[in-house]
Amino acid sequence: MKTFLTATCLSLFMLTTAVSTGFGADKVLNLFIWSEYMPDEVLADFTKETGIRVNIATYDSNEAMYAKIKLVGKGYDLIVPSSDYVGLMRRQGMLIPIDVNKISNFKFIAPQFTNQSFDPDNKYSVPYMWGSTALAINTSLLPAETVQQTADLWKPELKGRLLLPNDPREVIGLGLKTLGYSINEKDPKHLQQAFEKLRLLKPSVRVFDSDSPKQAILSGEVSVGLMWNGEAFIANKENKMIRYLYPPEGFSLWLDSFCMPKGAVNIDAAYRFIDYILQPKVAAYLSQSIGYSSPNTGVSEYLPEEMKNNPIVYPPAQDAVRGEFLDSLDENTMKLYEQYWIQIKSK
């Protein structure tokens, strides 16, 4: 049965990967990346400068990328997982070590993004783009002093006025942070406490939305929303009364990094590509055109004032230190998350 399954899956996936696999080592690079995450102009310029042609394939969830790498394992030289999936794939031996000494521009990566728990010493990953998940508050509907920390979300005046992400890691992470624990907490007792706390928050929640949370806060359906900074940035652009708060208890950060999966062939091309992207000028262009924050310290020189001074895109250092990156969790902890998530949603 297993052989049959593997064979069927393999043959199906081979069909799709065969198209993207090129010939001639290191004259091509097979890049597997989130959709709308790498503009064509950047790829064209890279090809012009190095002669390396880039084949791009895209995904829209970490899970889809993970399953494809797991089942097929070859055909891609460079992937861009989020921090928790870097941790997962590294632990499962799915990645090739990266020698950062070979990447001359690695020195531009800010120290707060290197040497994280999901990949100590950056042995397997090089940061690409990052962002935060914190509180957007519509101060025209609610006095700014009502919500100054996550613990304030439990206040009675927020009943039915709150938006949370439709994502168990972020929601349970909020409960953990409020109690002063890590968002990667594994202690069942602490998780239980976070769940009990979150259960009391359910009457405040009007909507769970991770797709387009800016909509609910812009239309005034909710006064406060836990959302990622890209959404808050757009909401703030349309309505200046919408502020973004980095709560004192801490908040979660996401970081997408370049990794080389086992089965990568064009290793040199992958190194050259990462080095190219890490040039401050290119990184600044990318940050501006796709609208996420770059971990590159050199970008400020090239970014327009309104972007680099916007605390929603580039939080001040004293706020940024309270952020914590999501890491992957073991199976038993995931089971607890699942059980609590279903209970939070059902009642």
Partner 1 sequence: MNESLFFRRLLIGTTWGWVCLLALIPYIILLGVSWLQPGTDTLVLPTITKENYRHLLSPEVFTITAESVLLAACTALLCLAVGYPFAAILANAPAKLQPPLLLLVMIPFWTNSLIRTYALIMLLKADGLINTALIRTGLLTEPLQLMYTPFAVFIGLVYTLLPFMILPLYAALKAVDPKLLEAGRDLGASWLQNFLKITIPLTMPGIIAGTMLVFLPALGMFYVSDILGGARTMLLGNYIRDQFLVFRNIPMGSAASITMTLAMGLLLLLYYLATRRSGGRVMR
Residues that bind partner 1 (CB under 8 A): 1-2, 4-5, 8-9, 61, 63, 67, 70-71, 92, 160, 166-169, 205-209, 215-216, 219-221, 331, 334, 337-339, 341-343, 345-346
Say how far residue 213 (Cα) sits from the centre of its chain.
16
Residue 338 Cβ vs partner 1, minimum distance, rounded to whole Å? 5
Number of residues that this document lists for the chain: 347
CB of 92 to partner 1, least distance (A): 5
Instruction: Using the minimum distance from each CB to partner 1, give the nearer residue, 8 or 148.
Output: 8
Least Å distance between CB 152 and partner 1? 21
**Nearest Cα residue to 31 out of 230, 294, 276, 253:** 276
Q: Which is nearer to partner 1, 115 or 332 (CB)?
A: 332
Give dist(CA 232, CA 238) in Å, integer: 10
Which CB atom, from 63 or from 157, has the smaller least distance to partner 1? Answer: 63
CB 38, min distance to partner 1, A: 23
d(CA 40, CA 325): 29
Residue 214 beta carbon to partner 1: minimum distance, rounded to whole angstroms: 12
Report the half-sphere exposure of 235 (CA within 13 A, side-chain side).
Answer: 30
Q: Which residues pair with 323 in a beta bridge?
A: 251
Nearer to partner 1, 77 or 209 (CB): 209
**Which residue lies nearer to partner 1 by CB, 207 or 267?**
207
Nearer to partner 1, 25 or 334 (CB): 334
How far is Cα 72 from Cα 10, in angstroms, rounded to an integer?
6
Nearer to partner 1, 321 or 342 (CB): 342
Query: What minimum distance in Å lies between the beta carbon of 128 and partner 1?
Result: 22
- State which residue, 56 or 207, has the beta carbon closest to partner 1: 207
Instruction: Report the nearest approach of partner 1 to the CB of residue 185 (Å).
Output: 17
Environment class of 333 (CB within 10 Å of its CB; exposed 0-12, middle 13-18, buried 19+): middle
Tell the smallest beta-carbon distance from residue 61 to partner 1 (Å).
6
Nearer to partner 1 (CB atom), residue 168 or residue 311: 168
- The distance of closest approach from Cβ of residue 332 to partner 1 in the complex, given in angstroms and rounded to an integer, is 11
